[in-house]
Amino acid sequence: MSFIYQRRQLWLGVFFLLSVGLALMSCTDNPDSLSTAAPGSKEEAEKFIQDAEKRLLELNIKGQRADWVKSTFITDDTEAIAAEANERLIGATTELAEQARRYENLDLSPELKRKLKLLKLSLTLPAPKDPAERTELTKLTAAMEGDYGKGKYCPEGDKGKCLTLPEIEQIIATSRDPEELKRMWLGWHQIAVPIRKDYVRFVELSNKGAKEMGFKDTGAMWRSKYDMEPDAFAAEMERLWQQVKPLYDSLYTYTRRKLSEKYGKEVVPEDKPIPAHLLGNMWAQSWGNIYPLLAPANADRGYDLTAILKARNTDEKQMVRYGEAFFTSLGFEPLPSTFWERSLFKQPADREVVCHASAWDIDYEKDVRLKQCVQINEEDFSVVHHELGHNYYQMAYSTKPFLFRDSANDAFHEAIGDTVALSVTPPYLKQLGFIDKVPDPSADIGFLLDRALDKIAFLPFGYLVDQWRWKVFSGEIGPNDYNKAWWELREKYQGVAPPAPRSEQDFDPGAKYHVPANTPYARYFLAAILQFQFHRALCREAGFSGPLYQCSIYGNKKAGEKLKTMLAMGQSEPWPVALKAMTGEEKMDATAIIDYFAPLKSWLDEQNGKKTE
C-alpha cells in the first residue's frame, strides 16, 4: 500500500473516530435536524458543492503539509500538529457528507449528482446520530486499534524479550522450523483476543449509522462506492475470483506438494489444507518468502540487476531519474523542479523518518513528491517506477474539480502503479543498456513463479477479508461464529488451516490490521486484477505481440497517449467509463492474468501431473 491517500487512511483511522463525534455534534445542535430539513434548491446545491470543494481543498492541503512534516521529521510535536490538522479535515468531511443528504433527491446535473454521491460515500465509518452512541463508537475503535498497535508476543519464560510484529514477521519469513513458526503464529494471533468483544459492539453501532444514512448495513455502504448496486458488486467480485481460481489451484497444488516434500506428509498432508504458518507470511497472503523451497531448476535469468546498478555507481536520485525517464519516453512531461527539491530519497542520518515508500500530492496540482529511503537494488528499482505511477496519475487529474481529483475507484491508483512496474522487464533493461541480451526464455518459469507467489497467492485472501466483513455486517455471520466463519472462508478460498485448533475464544480476523482499523480491503483484490488488464491493453496499443510477461511499453508514445487519457479523467466518470478509455472494455476482466501467467500454468500442471518421488 504505497499511494499516500490510502496510507494515510490507515494512519488516520483512530483520528477519524476521535473526531467524528465532535464533528457531527458541531454541525447542528439537533442531530435529527439535517435529515428532516426541507430539501434545498438546485442553486443552493451548486453553492453548497462549490463551497464544500473550496473548504475541503484548503483543509486537505494543510493536512498534507502537516503529515509530510510529521513523516519526514518524526517528533511528538509534529505528530500532534498532523493529528490536529487531520481531525479538522475529517470533521469537516463528516459534516459536509451529512449536509449533502439534503440535496440528493433534487433533479441535478450528472456532474453535481456525482459530486454529492462521492462526498456522501467518502466516509468509511457511518456514525450513529445519537451523541452517546457516537462517543461509544469512538472509544471502541480507539481501543481496538490501540490493542493492535500495542500487540507483542512475549515467549513464555522470557518476559523481558517481547517481540513486535515486524520481528515476528521476519522469523515467519525466514525460519524453516515448523515448531518455531507455529509459536510465532500463535503468539501474534493472541493479541486479537481482547478486540473481539469491542468488535461485536462496533458492528452494531456502525450498522446503525449506515441505516440512518439509507444503507442496509455498513458492508452495503462500502460496496455502493463502486458505481453499481451493492449486490451486483459482490457478484462481480465472485465472477472475477472464478476466472482466476484455476490458476490459483495449480499454484496451490504445486506449493502444497513441495512443502510436503520439505516438512513431511505428517506436517503437510497432500490431501488437506496447508497449515497457514508455513507459507512465509503471517496471514499466508503472499508466499514469495518461500520461493527458495519451490524454485525450479535452471531458474537463473543470467543477470543480477542489483549488482548492475551498484557497478554503475547508481545513487538514490539516479534511481528516480530512471523512473522519470520511463514516463517521459511515453510522452509525459518531466517531473516539476519542486519534486526534486522537496522529495526525500535517502534516509537522513540526523533524524527519524517514515521510510515506507509513498507518493504524495501536497497541493493537488503540481507539488507531487516521493518519500522513499531508496535502496540500490532490483526491488526498489521497480518500486520507484510504481510510486511515480501514482505521482503522474495525481498530476494528470489535477485540472479536475476537487472532488474528482482521485482515481476512478479506490483500486485504480494501486493498479496504475503496479501496471507501470510490470513494464520493468529484460527488454526494457536491455534498452537502458543494463544487459547485453534478453535472457533465454527457459529461465522465465522461475521469474513467473516468483511473481505468482506474490500476485496470484494474494488473490483469495484479498477477496475473503471483506467477504467475511460483509457477512458480519449483514448478520449472516453472528458473533458466536466469527472465528468459525473466518476459517471456513480461508479454507474455502485459500485452502489453508490454522496450525492449532481455534475456538470462539479467539478472534483471528482481528490479527489483521485492516479489521480493527476498519479499512476496506476489496480495493487490493481489484487492483491485482486491473493491473494486468491495463498492462495487456497498453501492450496491445503498443503493437506488442509476444508473451505478455515480456512486454514493456517503454518508449511507446501511442501507449502513453492511451494512459494519459485515462489518468486525466480522475474520478469524474464512473469507473467503467475510465476502464473503457484505457482498455476498450467496460468490465473488469481477469483473463489478462491468465494470459500473463500462461507458460507458468502449463508448467505447474505438468509438475502437478507427476507423481511425488
Give the pLDDT confidence of 153-179 residue by residue, as tens digits.
Answer: 998 765 668 998 989 999 999 999 999
- Mean of pLDDT values over 582-593: 96
Predicted local distance difference test score (pLDDT) of residue 160: 66
List pLDDT tens digits, range 380-430. Answer: 999 999 999 999 999 999 999 999 999 999 999 989 989 999 999 999 999
Residues 519-541 pLDDT 10s? 899 999 999 999 999 999 999 99
At 285-335, the pLDDT tens digits run 999 999 999 999 888 888 999 999 999 999 999 999 999 999 999 999 999
Contact 170, 180 (CB under 8 A): no
Helix axes 131-149, 195-212, angle to 10 degrees: 140
User: Looking at residue 590, what is its pLDDT?
Assistant: 96
Task: Give residue 439's pLDDT.
Answer: 87
Q: Report the pLDDT value the prediction gives residue 17, as an integer from 0 to 100.
A: 38
C-alpha closest to that of 567 among 332, 403, 258: 332
pLDDT for res 83: 78
28 contact partners, CB below 8 Å, separation of at least 6: 34
Determine what percent of the chain is predicted with pLDDT higher than 70.
Answer: 92
Which DSSP symbol is given to 32? T
Of 355, 479, 452, the C-alpha closest to 74 is 355
Whole-structure pTM over 0.85, yes or no? yes
Spatial CB neighbours of 130, under 8 Å, sequence gap ≥ 6? 31
Is 4 a residue whose pLDDT tops 80?
no
Residue 7 has pLDDT above 50, yes or no: no
- State the catalytic residues: 387, 514
Q: What does DSSP assign to residue 493?
A: I
Residue 161 pLDDT: 85
Arithmetic mean of pLDDT, 227-242: 96
pLDDT of residue 3: 44
**Mean pLDDT over all residues of the chain?**
90
If we measure between CA atoms, which residue out of 346, 398, 345, 389 comes closest to residue 367? 398
Could you report the per-residue pLDDT of 340-390, keeping only the tens digit for each? 999 999 988 888 888 888 899 999 989 999 999 999 999 899 999 999 999
Cβ contact 530:459 at 8 Å:
no
Q: Is the pLDDT of residue 479 over 60?
A: yes
Q: What is the pLDDT of residues 196-226, one digit of tens each?
A: 999 999 999 999 989 988 899 999 999 999 9
The confidence score (pLDDT) of residue 158 equals: 59
Higher per-residue confidence, 2 vs 531: 531
